[in-house]
Amino acid sequence: MKQMALVLFLLFQVGVLLGQQKVIDVKFQGNKRTKTPFLKKIVGLKAGMGLDSTQLEQDVYRLKRLPSVSHAYYQVFPALEENTFNVFYGIEENFTLIPFANVYTSNNDEFAFRIGLQEFNLLGNNITLGGFYQRDIFNSYGVHLRAPYLFGDKLGLALSYQDLTTQEPVFLETGTADYKYNNESFEVLGLYEINFKHRLELGINFFTEDYQYLFGETDPSVPQDLRVDKYLLKGIYNYDNIDYYYQYLSGFKSTLNLQYVHSTSGMLPEFVIGFNDFAYFQRVGSRGNWANRLRLGLSSNLDTPFAPFAVDNNLNIRGVGNTIDRGTAAIVLNTEYRHTLVDKDWFVLQSNVFVDGGSWRNPGGDFSDFGDEQNIRIYPGVGIRFIHKQIFNAIFRIDYGHGITKSAARGVVFGIGQYF
């Protein structure tokens, strides 16, 4: 009993001493464009609190996720008063005014691109403002604003406007028709950060879809011209437990996206859609990174040529072509090994080998469609990355994918940022 009492007494004394370790001030160093009041707002450790190593680690983890921060660390120094400390967070900043481009081709001479410009640290508060121009046979453009900490350290807002026009294949029983497809939309989302790993987004999107027949097969039951007003209710839950160290990632991430779409036309009836992206990253040695993404998607199983899940070069299967098929459910797996060939103070040259694979449920079909060889696509390939370590998302990628399944294509995909 005496020994137990002694242990309890010592634990009590340690707790008292730790409780007396008070933070006098929280300071930041290295931040030039990012505002110090903004950084103080989002870190959990405040002046007057007790010194907490767990909170320090969480704050650094959160800072490294900011677009304006390439790396972060902390230092603790004793203050003049006994058992008091000053905490310094060191910030290595990214350059955040970034042009971007996505270019993709395939062996049937398709060529499309999207270029744009984004500022990820507007007003020094990590607000993103951007716009793009797209040429995919027709012209498209869009603008967006995202301010995740607009109303404090947890609540924000996102706004976007898009006017997208593309040539889309519509898959009929008699063959394929090509339509000029326009989608004009305005979206508003409320952003809420539960904690540094869990985030929610809720909002509404008002949009108009316009289909105009160009050429190909026809079907009396499918109109050649159709214009429909819709609205979409959206909810997104994001769990992010990824540890970032420059170009290397490790950990797990999951993003669940649920939508309800209401339509004013019976030709494009209302439906629900949900999909979850699971991502897993693992360090391999000192220069390797194994990266994986699995998408599981399901929607209302309507027998319509305008099904929501597309098979597309720039979305899920590198090299497959531009919107070559559609479905009402999807399983897609992307896996790749990234290896750093050159790593300098500011520049990284990275190679990768990948396999993209997936299958789709036909509109109005059943889950056995996933095993149909007509629906299965497997595309291995190789790529290269040119990375600037001090510019946010400054990763120029080139990937070449070559299909090995039935009626396969091949193609090159260019872009800014990792494919996933």
Domain 2-93's class? alpha beta
Q: What is the pTM of this model?
A: 0.81
Average pLDDT, the chain: 90
Confidence bin at 46 (pLDDT 50/70/90): very high
Does residue 5 register a pLDDT over 80? no
**Burial per residue of 68-96, b for 16 or more beta-carbon CB atoms within 10 angstroms, e otherwise:** bbbbbebeeeeeeeeeebbbbbbbebbeb
pLDDT for res 15: 43
pLDDT of residue 387: 95
Q: Is 154 exposed, middle or buried (0-12, 13-18, 19+ CB in 10 A)?
A: middle
Percent residues over pLDDT 70 in the chain: 94
pLDDT score of 246: 85
Pairing mode, strands 84-93 and 22-29: parallel
Higher pLDDT, residue 61 or 4? 61
Domain ranges for the chain, please list them.
Answer: 2-93, 97-416
Which of 184, 244, 243 lies closest to 209 in space, CA to CA?
A: 184
Q: Is the pLDDT confidence value at 47 over 70?
A: yes
287-304: average pLDDT: 95
**pLDDT of 99:** 86
**The pLDDT value given to residue 18:** 46
pLDDT digits (tens, 9 = 90+) for 236-270: 999 999 988 889 999 999 999 999 999 988 777 89
SS (H, E, C) 256-285: EEEEEEEECCCCCCCEEEEEEEEEEEEEEC
pLDDT tens sequence across 85-105: 999 999 999 999 988 887 766
| Per-residue confidence (pLDDT) for residue 389, from 0 to 100 | 86
Residue 282's alpha-carbon distances to 62, 244, 250, 338, 420, in angstroms, are 20, 11, 5, 10, 14
For 377-410, the pLDDT digits (tens) are 999 999 999 999 888 778 999 999 999 998 888 9
Determine the residue type at 34. T
Pull the structure tokens for residue 158: 């996102």
pLDDT, residue 173, reads: 78
Which CATH number applies to 97-416?
2.40.160.50
pLDDT at 20: 61
Tell whether the model's pLDDT for residue 116 goes beyond 90: yes
Task: Count how many Cα atoms sit within 13 Å of the Cα of residue 34 in the half-sphere of its side chain.
Answer: 30
13 or 172, greater pLDDT: 172
From CA 319, how far away is CA 92, in angstroms rounded?
37
**Fold equal for 2-93 and 97-416:** no
User: Is the pLDDT reported for residue 287 higher than 50?
Assistant: yes
pLDDT band at residue 11, thresholds of 50, 70 and 90? very low
Q: How far apart, in whole angstroms, are the C-alpha atoms of residue 257 and residue 328?
A: 15
